[in-house]
Amino acid sequence: MLVICRLDGRLHDREGFDCGEPSLNLYLHTLATQHLRTGIAATHVLADDKAPSCIFGYYSMSAAQMSLDELSVSDRRRLPRYPVPAARLARLAVSVQKQGHGLGEALLQDAVTRCLSLREELGIHALLVDALNERAAGFYRQYGFRNCATSAMTLYLPLGRG
């Protein structure tokens, strides 16, 4: 069974992960556990519970904020006149062998669900994402992410309730 759990440097084979994008490989190989320890970002990995050391995919998230001018005019309605709290999906990647089988969607869904539950504790108005390129931006748009008004490669998913 596939499971998503917090990255564990003693259990997961970070070096063996390859998504075809060097910057996303390097992050998992060298920085992800350090960032978890220091509170810079939390990384969750997708693996098979029968062979849990092999990472099929991962995402990392951090706390963030959005200024009002990043939101579309209609999304600014009823918001306070100061930056609003957000979460940032800083990285999302699936291993080359497993791409195209719905794992990217499963990881994104898990990240959104995590934000919705965190929102009850500390307030999260939107999930931000920095797309690596236009193809990746297309991946996020199909799930309702909207372009930030100030940057073509930053997108957001509103999480507030009306």
Ligand X SMILES: CC(C)(COP(=O)(O)OP(=O)(O)OC[C@H]1O[C@@H](n2cnc3c(N)ncnc32)[C@H](O)[C@@H]1OP(=O)(O)O)[C@@H](O)C(=O)NCCC(=O)NCCS
CA–CA separation, 128 vs 148, rounded Å? 9
Task: Kindly provide the b/e burial profile for residues 46-74, where b requires at least 16 CB atoms within 10 angstroms of the residue's own CB.
Answer: bbeeeeeeebbbbbbbbebebeeebbeee
Q: Which residues inside 66-95 make contact with ligand X, applying CB under 6 A?
A: 92-94
Order of strands across the sheet that contains 2-6: 2-6, 42-48, 51-66, 84-94, 126-130, 151-158, 146-148
Q: Which residues inside 18-37 make contact with ligand X, applying CB under 6 A?
A: 19-21, 24
| Residue 110 touching ligand X (CB under 6 A) | no
- Residue in the block written with tokens 């992800």: 32
**By C-beta, is 141 or 160 nearer to ligand X?**
141
Q: Which residues inside 117-156 make contact with ligand X, applying CB under 6 A?
A: 131-132, 135-136, 138-139
| Residue 41 touching ligand X (CB under 6 A) | no
For residue 140, indicate whether it is catalytic.
yes
Report, in Å, the least distance between residue 122 CB and ligand X.
Answer: 25
Applying CB under 6 A, which part among 4-12, 31-39, 72-80, 102-110 lies near ligand X?
102-110
Q: Which residues are catalytic?
A: 140
